[in-house]
Structure 1
Amino acid sequence: MITVDILIAPLRILVTALGTGVLPAENPATMIRSASTDLDEVRRTSAAATSAVQNEWRGIGSGGAAAAADRTARTSTTVDDDGQQIATLVETASARIELAARQLRELVDSFERAATAMGPALSTPAGLAAIVPVAVDHVQRGLSIVSRAQTDLADDTRTMSELGRHEAPAEAGSQPVANTASSPTGKGVAVTLPDGSVAYAPNERAAAAVRAALSQQGVPYVWGGTTPDGFDCSGFTQWAYRQAGVELPRLAQEQDTAGMAVTQDQLMPGDLAVWDGHVAMYIGNDQLVEAGDPVGVSPLRTTNAGQGFQGFFRPK
């Protein structure tokens, strides 16, 4: 069995090097979300103080103070939004490592079962010749798991590094960018939904994708369809995001790889709901738009004809 242990040693090293992925109780995501609560309190206090001052103070100085307070509020909102995304990225990275670690441990267990099943024959030349290819296969699969995790983590790292690279908040009274409309809280781009309500996308690209998707209501379902002549589910979301300059993978079960996971309470217009064989786009206010027969709007859900639900994802 010493020889067998040597054969599987690379997998054990990978397990040790990767770690568990389990976050401690005082993990960064929890601390960031706690700081977000503090920022909300600061914004509320600042707004109340500014309002009280303006009731008693008139003139240029008052206007300047109000403008400064507004800039501070918008900056803190941006920091808050970035913090929320960083917290989500931390949790996503933790989940990726935890999954990879579990898959590696399963490979170790699988190899040990294969070696045990060979019994005494394992100590013979023929047994060793038979077990070596099994060990090589398991180690190669382990390397693939780690490589995939590294790729996913590199994407998360790039996304995190892009946070904070914002344009300076626009001064009060400046002209808005064409085709955008900030929410009352400054947290997104307004999109008017078919029922007349307004939702706020996280950025202009997501808003453009939602608008493109909604423009195709009534288009028939076509298996393999990727154009306005007819869509299948993933062809529809791929086409909508292409109009916004974002290229998604072709298959529904692969489109979750083009973004970061978000929870249901973090959903924003443009996020994707992904099942094993279906994908839909969240448009806001607890509604989805998806390719059906025909393309249409439906209530938010996590079930779809018995398919496994993969989760919600925000394209990058």
Structure 2
Amino acid sequence: MSGAELLVEPLRALLTALGTGVLAPGNPAERLHTAASAVDAARADSQAATRAARDGWAGTGGAAAFATAESVHRGMTVVTADAAEFSRLVQTAAHKVHSASTRLHALVDSLERSAAALGDRLFTPAGLMALVPIAADHLGRGVDIVARTRAELQADTEAMAALGRRTAPAASGAPADAGRLSSAPVPGGVAVTLPDGSVAYAPNERAATAVRAALSQRGVPYVWGGTTPDGFDCSGFTQWAYRQAGVELPRLAQDQDTAGYPVSQADLQPGDLAVWSGHVAMYIGNGQLIEAGDPVGVSPLRTTNLDQTFEGFYRPR
């Protein structure tokens, strides 16, 4: 192996360790998605049959049977939503790995071009010495890519582990604690797994995207005037999260209510904003907010914030 190849080898090792992020056909996430679709279709058929039977079966026995059927239907909806969330998490993680792999490949190509540009000098001590700092810079950038990808994957890992804890049977063989299902599915709702392992249901994909984007930034430090994942202030954080969903909010916290309409606390849904005279936070469901503090984190739902005036809850349009 030549000296140049030795200098490229650490980057290739990073590539091997990272993987490609390309999911093979028939992977578990794909199979689970197919199974979930079958469960959802069975639920729809069962609900149709239940509605048809309801017209001709009156009395206590019928009422009990229909109540049981509805309970089963709700359970099937939860299973379908959990399967969809698992598949989404796998796809999201794979995309992040694939993106990082593409960037590492670009670094390898760049370093090889730098080596080729040295021509015959590459085979001299002086040429190798000229290539060493270039290789060190490329390797440092490669390590940074891997480190950033690991950090980005942490939220997905935590969400998947929480989903597994919630859906897996308890050690005794009994179902997992049903108390963790603190948010019931809503018609057309989009499941979002929260850091505590519970599942909330956003009213639509746009709100779910904003909530997931916000959750992905937990741990980012507070920076006055910050509007990027390098550091956020409160309104920069909610603005960034909604921008990932294709919605542009005003820059200032006290103005972000103008981009939506008021909702009551009883009608809160994931993605709604809690607005004060100088602060804003996002409701993520199940009695929890996420907000830019020091750092970005999840906190219990509240309407007080220091001595600021609470302006209300708002749902972005």
Coarse TM-score class (shorter-chain normalised): 0.5 to 0.7
Q: Which amino acid aligns with 1:203?
A: A
Counterpart of 1:85?
85
Following the alignment from structure 1 to structure 2, what is the Cα–Cα distance between the partners of residues 65 and 109? Answer: 66
Equivalent of 2:200 in 187, 198, 203: 203
> Of the candidates 227, 252, 259, which is equivalent to residue 297 of structure 1?
259
- Residue-by-residue CA offset, 1:61-118 (whole Å, 9 max, x unaligned): 3222222211111111111111111111111111111111111111111111111212
- The one-letter code sitting in structure 1 at the alignment partner of 2:178 is A
- The aligned counterpart of 1:232 is none
- Secondary structure at the aligned position of 1:95 is classed as helix
> Could you tell me which amino acid in structure 2 is paired with residue 74 of structure 1?
R
| Secondary structure in 2 matching 1:56 | coil
* Contact preservation (8 Å) 2:250, 2:259: no
1:168 paired to 2:127: no
Q: 1:78 to 1:119 in 2, by over 3 A?
A: same
Rounded Cα–Cα distance in structure 2 between residues aligned with 1:160 and 1:169: 19
Q: State the SS of the aligned residue for 2:23.
A: coil
Q: Which residue of 1 aligns with 2:101?
A: 101
The amino acid across from 1:62 in the alignment is G
Q: CA RMSD for the aligned pairs?
A: 4.2
CA distance in 2 between counterparts of 1:249 and 1:99 reads: 25
Letter in 1 for 2:229: E
Q: Which residue of 2 aligns with 1:33?
A: 33
Aligned residue among 215, 229, 253 for 1:254:
229
SS at match of 1:203: strand
Q: What CA distance in whole angstroms lies between the structure 1 residues aligned with 2:46 and 2:94?
A: 36
Q: What is the Cα deviation at residue 14 of structure 1?
A: 1.8
- Tell me, yes or no, if the aligned pair for 1:281 and 1:289 is still in contact at 8 Å: no
Q: Which amino acid aligns with 1:291?
A: P
Deviations 1:222-263 (A, max 9, x none): xxxxxxxxxxxxxxx99xx79xxx776654442999xxxxxx
Contact 2:239–2:249 under 8 Å retained in 1:
no
Is 1:53 matched up with 2:57?
no
Deviation at 1:168, TM superposition (A): 2.6
Is this contact kept in 1: 2:85–2:191, CA < 8 A? no
Aligned positions, number: 228
Q: Residue 259 of structure 2 aligns to a residue in which SS?
A: strand
Provide the TM-score with structure 1 as the length reference.
Answer: 0.58
| Distance change in 2, residues 1:100/1:256 (3 Å) | farther
Summarize the Cα distance change of 1:30–1:88 in structure 2 as closer, same or farther, 3 Å threshold: same
Q: Distance in 2 between matches of 1:281 and 1:4?
A: 42
Distance of aligned partners of 1:145 and 1:255 in 2 relative to their CA distance in 1, 3 Å threshold: closer
| Match in the other structure for 1:229 | none
Residue 290 of structure 1 aligns with an amino acid whose one-letter code is L
